[in-house]
Structure 1
Amino acid sequence: MPKVRRCRQYGCHAMCLLPKHYCPKHVEHEKEYLATRAKWQNLGHNKAKAHQYNTVVRNRSSDKREQYNFYRTRQWAYLRQRVLDRDNYLCQYCRVIGKLIPDSKTVDHIIPVEVKPSDKANECNLAVICRPCHYKKTEWERKYYGTGNGNELKDVEPIEDVKRIVLMMNGGNNHASSEVYC
C-alpha cells in the first residue's frame, strides 16, 4: 500500500501520495510550499548549523558552558521575572535618554558575566533592555571590556551605572554621574 498524508491545504481532507504535500486538486501550491521550505533551510535553521554554533561559539570553554547553563536554571527564571516586574518591562537604557520602550523582555547584566562572574545572580547587576539597546551595548562591551568570541578581556574598571554606560555607548564621555543602579 502506498504511503499517504493529508493535503496541506486548509480545510481539505483529501489524501496525497508521499512525497507530495498537496492533493491533485491543490497541486498548484506545491512549488510555493517547497520554495518556502528551501528558503527556511537556507536561513540557517538546520541542525548542523545549530550544533556548530553550540559547540564552537556557545560552549567554547567550560566557563562559557557554565554561563550558558546558568540561563537555563530556575534561579535565572526567578531573577529574570523579578527584574522584569521591578522595571515594569521598560528598557532602562532608553529610559535614561527619556524614551519609554514598553514590552522589553530581555534582562541584561549591567556588568557582563565574563567580567564579573560573581555578580551573575545579583539582582542589582540586572536591567531590562530592548533589542536595539542590547545590540549597541553588546558592541560597546566588546570594545570596552574585550568580551566576546576571539577577544581578550581588558583590565578596565567595571561600570555599574546605566547612565554612564548609555553615554559611553552613544559616544559621550565616561565621566557622567556615578549613581549606582540598584
Structure 2
Amino acid sequence: MPRVRRCRQPGCHAMVNFPDHYCKQHYEHEAEYLASRERWARSHDKLYTHKYNTVTRNRDDTKRQQYNFYRTRQWSHLRQQVLERDHYLCAYCKVKGVITPAKTVDHVVPIEFDEALKANVDNLAVICGKCHRLKTDWEQGYYGTGQGNELRQVNEIHDVQSVGVLMNGGTQRD
C-alpha cells in the first residue's frame, strides 16, 4: 500500500500519495510550496551560512572590520540612541509623507565610502526594510559600494531628505 498524507490546502481533507503535498484539485500550489521549502532549507543550511559568513561577509579585512563594528557595545548604544531619537519611525518614509515603524539603523553616508562617519550619530537614521533595499541599490549606483563595484569620487550627501528623494527616483536640489 502506498504512503499517503493529507492535502496541505487548509480545509481540504483529501489524501494524496507520497511525495506529493497537494491533491489534484489544489496541485497548482505544489511548485510554490516546494520553492518555499527550498528557500527555508537554504537559509537554515549550515554550509550555506558558513560560506556566506566566510566568503561574502568577511571577504577582506575592511569588510571584516565593518561587520565587527556592528557587534560592539558602542554600536549597540548608538543604535538605541538613534531609535529613540527617531521614535522607531523610518526617516526615509517620512520624506514621502508616510509613517512606517522600523527597527533598523542605517548610515546615511555608507561606512564603506567614508569610514570616519561610522560612529557619528548625525550620520545615522532609522530605516524600514523596503527603504533599506531601495537605498542600498541607490548607494551602489551613486557611491559605487557593494561587492564587485568600485568606489566613485562623488560628493557625500548627508541630508536624509535629499537621499530619500534621490533613492526614489527624484533629482537633487542644490
Task: Give the TM-score normalised by structure 1.
Answer: 0.73
In structure 2, distance between residues paired with 1:44 and 1:99: 32
Counterpart of 2:126, as a letter, is V
Q: Please name the residue that 2:84 is paired with.
A: 85
The residue that corresponds to 1:141 in the other structure is 139
Deviation of 1:147 after TM superposition, in Å, equals 0.3
SS in 2 for 1:80: helix
Amino acid in structure 2 at the alignment position of 1:64: K
1:165 CA drift (Å): 0.7
Query: Structure 2 residue aligned with 1:172, among 145, 150, 170?
Result: 170
**Matched letter for residue 137 of structure 2:** E
User: CA-to-partner distance for each residue in 1:71-121, whole Å, 9 max, x for gaps?
Assistant: 00011000000000000000000001111112x000000000011101100
- Say if 2:149 is the partner of 1:155: no
Distance (Å, rounded) in 1 between the aligned partners of 2:47 and 2:151: 30
User: Identity over the aligned pairs, expressed in percent?
Assistant: 55
Aligned residue type for 2:131 = C
- Give deviations 1:118-148, integer Å, cap 9, x for gaps: 1100000000000000000000000000000
Q: CA deviation at 1:44?
A: 3.2
Which structure 2 residue ranges, 5 or more long, are not aligned? 1-18, 22-33
1:49 aligns with 2:48: yes
Structure 2 residue matching 1:90: 3-state secondary structure: coil
* Secondary structure, counterpart of 1:101 in structure 2: coil
Corresponding residue SS for 1:127 = strand
| 1:12-31 equivalence runs, <5 A | none
Per the alignment, residue 119 of structure 2 pairs with 121
SS at match of 2:99: coil
Q: State whether residues 95 and 161 of structure 2, in contact with CA within 8 Å, keep that contact through their aligned partners in structure 1.
A: yes
Task: Provide the rounded CA distance (Å) in 2 between the counterparts of 1:161 and 1:115.
Answer: 16
Q: Which of the pair has more CA radius of gyration?
A: 1
How far, CA to CA, are the matches of 1:77 and 1:123 in structure 2?
12
**Structure 1 unmatched runs, 5+:** 1-30, 177-182
**Would you identify which runs of 4 or more consecutive aligned residues in structure 1 move more than 3 Å?**
none
The residue number in structure 1 matching 2:95 is 96
Q: Count residues with an aligned counterpart.
A: 144
Q: For residue 60 of structure 2, what is the aligned residue in structure 1? A: 61
Structure 2 residue 120 is the aligned partner of structure 1 residue 132: no
**What's the RMSD between the two structures over aligned residues?**
2.2
CA distance in 1, matches of 2:153, 2:44: 38
1:112 and 2:110 are equivalent in the alignment: yes
State the one-letter code of the partner of 2:46: K
